Amino acid sequence: MNNRISFLKSLVDIECVKFGNFTLKSGQQSPIYIDLRNIVSYPELLTNLALLFKEEINLSAQRICGVPYAALPIATMISAHTGLPMLIKRKEAKGYGTKKMLEGAYKPGDKVVLVEDVITSGQSLIETIKVLEDEGLIIEQILVVLDREQGGIEKLTNQGYNVSSLFSVSSLIDLLISENKIDVDTYNEVKVFLNNNHSITPIQEQTKKYFPQTHQHPIAQKLLNIANTKKSNLIASVDLTSAQDIINFLSIVGEDICAAKLHVDIIKDFSQDFIKELKALSEKLQFLIIEDRKFADIGNTQLLQLSQGIYSIASWADMVTIHLIAGEASLKAIQDWDTAIKPALIPIIEMSSKGALTDNDYIEKCKQFLYNYADVIGAVCQNTTLKTGFLKFTPGINLSAKEDNKGQNYNSPSHAIENLQSDFLIIGRGLYLSDNPKKEIDNYLSEVRKMDFFSEIK
């Protein structure tokens, strides 16, 4: 036990474990970052890890293989201490020679211990398992150094594999706080993250995400109809400041989006003629209009902002965004507003910006009352799970970037749909700043459609 405690402490000392605000490979935001590759520079620590694994290995195992690349030196050291012959699985096949994906001496039927450094979703393991099983090898056991507790182990266990880890993130932070190596705020932040993201992958596997078909609100139903017809759940965030630039941009991408999201107060030459042209274009190309006004005042002020002034937002916006910082009364005022031109409401309960104050406590307080109002059709959020029947709008979608230099964090389309369980994806600068918006929107559509997202629920 002392050897295990000593090893965990060392991971922090050599910066294999860091705390802060990190973007993972999947695009997901995390308060803890784990990268065990630094271990290769510490032979004594690598040896200790191999000896810990030696105690766990099944006696029936005949070969050992590390998941590339981080687990390769770990598997090598285990091989040296156990005498188990090692196999190397390549990331990609060589373009010359034998072009093999698996190197080493083996024969079909050999039982293999598979070693991984960190498991999150289990995807890297799944890819390695396929290569080994295609060669006729049997996965006898899967050993992992550290489990991020996001469903990977459960997923592989449900598929019949024998999987175990030496440590989990929970055991790591429990030790660190008891040793005063992290403070209470950091400990709680990681605990909240684990609670919000535990077992994402198994849930996803058991209940595949399909695009919704029906909604009780007429505007939401219209939005769903457009999206299902176009096979597109993309919303263009159009943060342009010229009316003509907005019209020109939407003329290019309008056929491929289900909605356009504007910030009307940044348009330098706003006019009602622009609104007429925008509405005509939206009807022609079949997309709805969201005014991202982010109302955040008392109810009476919000009604004035909706209906009065030069913008007269309620007269043309199909949907508007609203913060719930003013409390439930701000929603009730709009709900009670007796008018025929009321837009649907999309509360913002979780933001994509780094360091956002929309923490778990705020989110839970919002969820206590936002479901009680018929004008609310869904919410803008990231990791939060919404009640069935409420649409999830996720901003910060980008095919390549992970963050900018202004505090914006990004998610990939596949991560947003498969892991965050999002319904609508909001794309901003990755689209309207593109040199070729039409080509770029096609790239986003391709990513969405290859996930079979718009098939009817089986």
Catalytic position from the list 9, 100, 222, 294: 294
Torsion of CA 415, 420, 425, 431, to 10 degrees: -40
Q: Within 10 A of 101 (CB to CB), how many other CB atoms are there?
A: 18
Catalytic position from the list 297, 342, 402, 404: 297
DSSP E strands: which ranges in 47-162?
A: 63-66, 86-89, 102-103, 111-119, 138-147
Per the annotation, the verdict on 294 as an active-site residue is yes
Cα–Cα nearest to 442, from 290, 230, 280, 212: 230
DSSP E strands: which ranges in 60-137?
A: 63-66, 86-89, 102-103, 111-119
281-286 long-range contacts (CB < 8 A, ≥24 apart) are 281/247, 281/250, 281/251, 281/254, 282/250, 282/254, 284/254, 285/250, 285/251, 285/254, 285/255, 286/226, 286/229, 286/230, 286/254, 286/255
Distance between CA atoms of residues 372 and 388, nearest Å = 13
What region does 15 belong to: left with phi over 0, alpha with psi -120 to 50, or beta? left
Per the annotation, the verdict on 297 as an active-site residue is yes
Query: Which residues are part of the catalytic machinery?
Result: 294, 297
